[in-house]
Structures are given as C-alpha cells and as structure tokens.
Amino acid sequence: MGKFVIKTSDTGCHFVMKADNGEVIATSQHYKSKESCKKGIESVRKNAPEAEVVEED
C-alpha cells in the first residue's frame, strides 16, 4: 500500500503520493494550509477508486 507524504515550506504545503518502493506517483497542487492539504488527500482517497482508466494513443 502506498502512502501520502505532506511536505511543508514557508508558503504552505503540498503532498506527494508514493508507491511502496518509494517512487513518487502523484504530486498535488500547493496549499496555503496543512488543513487544506489534508482535505486534498481525503478527496483523492474518496474519488480515486472510482476514477475511470483511459488509454490514449
């Protein structure tokens, strides 16, 4: 199971989603607060299982 990692800076924070092997597989937008960042993580958790898989040529 992968994990979400919150990274903070002087101007706010963002999260990255990492696979079990440590590879970054997704990066979020920049949030002004950690609370907003955590809401973004929860949104991905809620919506990702239902996301359609599309192959583009």
pLDDT of 17 reads 93
Give domain status of residue 55, yes or no.
no
- CATH code for the domain of 41: 3.30.160.160
Residue 32 lies in a domain: yes
- How many distinct structural domains can be found in the chain? 1
What's the pLDDT score for residue 1?
A: 76
CB 28 within 8 Å of CB 14: yes
Domain that holds residue 10: 3-49
Q: Which pLDDT does position 15 carry in this prediction?
A: 96
Which pLDDT does position 31 carry in this prediction? Answer: 97
Question: Model's pTM, two decimal places?
Answer: 0.81
Nearest CA-CA partner of 48 in 8, 14, 2, 9: 2
User: Which strand ranges, in their side-by-side order, compose the sheet holding 3-9?
Assistant: 3-9, 12-18, 24-27
**pLDDT reported for residue 2:** 87
Which stretches of the chain drop beneath a pLDDT of 70? none
Yes or no: say if 13 and 4 are a contact pair by the CB < 8 Å rule.
no
Q: Does residue 54 fall inside a structural domain?
A: no
User: How confident is the model at residue 37, as a pLDDT?
Assistant: 96
